Structure 1
Amino acid sequence: MDKQELGAFLRSRRERLRPQDAGLPAGPRRRTPGLRREEVAVLAHISTEYYIRLEQGRAPRPSGEVLAGIAGALRLTDAESDHLHVLAGTAPSRTGLHRRDVRPSILTLLDRLPQTAAFVTSATFEVLAWNDLAAALMEDFAGLSPRDRNLARRAFLASERPDAGLYGISDAAEFRHNVVTNLRSTLARYPSDPAVTGLVDELRDASREFARLWERHDVQAAPVLTKTFRHPVVGEITVDCDSLALTDRDQHLVLYSAPPGSPDAEALALLAVLGTEGVRASRSLSR
């Protein structure tokens, strides 16, 4: 049970609700945003004292029934409710280190998708494996260290690198929000993994934007269905986005594709022909 994180999460969810959201009268002007603690306690059918202690990080582990009541009172989504149980220690959680080894069958699959840019990310957004088209569309990951292949660092610390930016994607703000929400869930699953805790601490210290988003305690981002890349050689490419969870290793297989016969599919096909070496040469000629 992570008492301090649980308390902070409860406060953040309580403060975002309006009385009318919970079926309560608005009443006179409130000095603080959101519901009052005693209102949440009444809605959750628990004592106000116990709920206050939960928010203050002083209460013993709540039961599943109590958490269900609180989740209902705070109008939590399924993802937020799952996160609540993880923080309270009432849900199965992974221990030790997050995995970075990719299943051999997935590595084989990457090479069997020549018309789709495909890559695998870890629970901390490190690009672990990729095919040639992903390298041509984004960058030659083979030339980077594992640290520089981390998309979370690139999203928030890219200004420190000469090739700053997230590959010219159209949804950079949404991607950053997605990074934060996923890292918060990752930290709850791997609270003793130094790679996870170190990455979160690094980003909180070095990026005001990450720190601001982190304090929102969000654990669910809107799905991204399409994404536009502004590629330096072939111009804008709009792709369909699919992210498949590899649950046995807590990784994701990300797929970028385009409808057959579309100009975007033709642009991807050109990148597949050029490859990373061709893209690099074209960049040099255009300078």
Structure 2
Amino acid sequence: MDRTELADFLRRRRARLDPSDVGLTAGARRRTPGLRREEVAQLTGMSTDYYTRLEQARGSRPSRQMLSALARALRLSEDERDHLFHLAGEEPPRETQGSSLHVRPGLLMVLDRLYDAPAQVMSDWGEVLAQNAMAVALAGEAEPGRNIIHRYFTDPRTRELFPPEDREEHARTHAAQLRAVLAARPQDPGPAGLVAELLDRSAEFAALWEQHEVAVRRSAVKRFVHPVVGLLELDCEVLAVPGQGQVLVVHSARPGTEAHERLALLRVVGLQDLTVSR
């Protein structure tokens, strides 16, 4: 690990970004250009103290998950991401057969502009790669490496986000989506490993897998149960990212509906909660 070069690279990449580039408000006038250290820490889910030590060439080696989070927060290109990994003494991720866990800076910019609609970038096999603030307000913040399909079948709390009568259909859709992805990319270790683990850990998933249903995630109407604003019936648009094995998922409510009013309330309440917690 080259701490000195890593520190310099992080400082320079941070200085080239404006808060608006990453979906943050500028706030009070800034004495120096770029993001503040605490803002980078917020975007990556690490402590400000740890990030500061990285920029001061005093930090311990970041994990691979944290390096990926830094690459997204600093809007690094794939070449810059690989450079970041090399400086930290790690081999960069090698994507296989079109499955990429790196989100392009341009796509992250689109995500940040969707300030009034919950949106997130995911791999087609369920890895949450990036969220906007509204997605966090709706469903909670995803820790690095979180896979929504894995959690749906292994963590009962995940299902509380949906009405009880909808949960069986969500399970079937998740299994059918994984079946389609695995058939398209049988050598991709990500979805193959997820299927193997779920077959071992979840009898429900194993039973659904035996049915051999296949479905690619597409646009739909989804219902969410939020603890503050209540039931939200939202239009879910799924936009594929060509050649990346990724999708941009955007939820919206039709104007004039009760869900539209509740989504507006969620923006106020949810973003206030984020401000307080951070």
- TM-score normalised to structure 2 length: 0.59
Flag the 1:129–1:145 CA change in 2: closer, same or farther, 3 A: closer
Flag the 1:238–1:128 CA change in 2: closer, same or farther, 3 A: same
Q: 1:156 aligns with which of 148, 153, 157?
A: 153
Per mean C-alpha deviation after superposition, the further-off stretch among 212-221 and 202-211 is 212-221
CA RMSD of aligned residues (A): 2.5
Tell me the CA shift for residue 225 of structure 1: 2.4
Contact (CA 8 Å) 1:111, 1:131: kept in 2 or not?
yes
- Aligned partner of 1:274 in structure 2 is 269
What letter corresponds to residue 118 of structure 2 in structure 1? A
Tell me the CA shift for residue 174 of structure 1: 1.8
Q: How does 1:1-287 map to 2 (within 5 A)?
A: 95-96=96-97, 98-141=99-142, 144-146=143-145, 149-159=146-156, 163-165=157-159, 167-169=161-163, 171-220=166-215, 225-275=220-270, 278=273
Contact (CA 8 Å) 1:155, 1:166: kept in 2 or not?
no
Q: What is the distance in 2 between the residues matched to 1:222 and 1:136?
A: 23
Higher relative contact order (CA closer than 8 Å, sequence separation 6+): 1
> Can you list the C-alpha shifts for 1:132-174, whole angstroms capped at 9, x where unaligned?
1111011122xx231xx21101211113xxx442512563222
Q: What is the distance in 1 between the residues matched to 2:109 and 2:234?
A: 23
Flag the 1:221–1:195 CA change in 2: closer, same or farther, 3 A: closer
Flag the 1:227–1:132 CA change in 2: closer, same or farther, 3 A: same
Q: What is the distance in 1 between the residues matched to 2:195 and 2:98?
A: 15
Contact (CA 8 Å) 2:98, 2:245: kept in 1 or not?
no
Flag the 1:280–1:206 CA change in 2: closer, same or farther, 3 A: farther
Contact (CA 8 Å) 1:204, 1:211: kept in 2 or not?
yes
Q: What is the distance in 1 between the residues matched to 2:149 and 2:136?
A: 17
Tell me the CA shift for residue 119 of structure 1: 0.8
What letter corresponds to residue 107 of structure 2 in structure 1? I
5+ long unaligned stretches in structure 1: 1-93, 283-287
Flag the 1:243–1:214 CA change in 2: closer, same or farther, 3 A: same
Contact (CA 8 Å) 1:140, 1:276: kept in 2 or not?
no
Q: What secondary structure is seen at the aligned counterpart in 2 of 1:155?
A: helix
Q: What is the distance in 2 between the residues matched to 1:243 and 1:164?
A: 21
Contact (CA 8 Å) 1:154, 1:166: kept in 2 or not?
no
Count residues in correspondence: 182
Flag the 1:280–1:233 CA change in 2: closer, same or farther, 3 A: farther
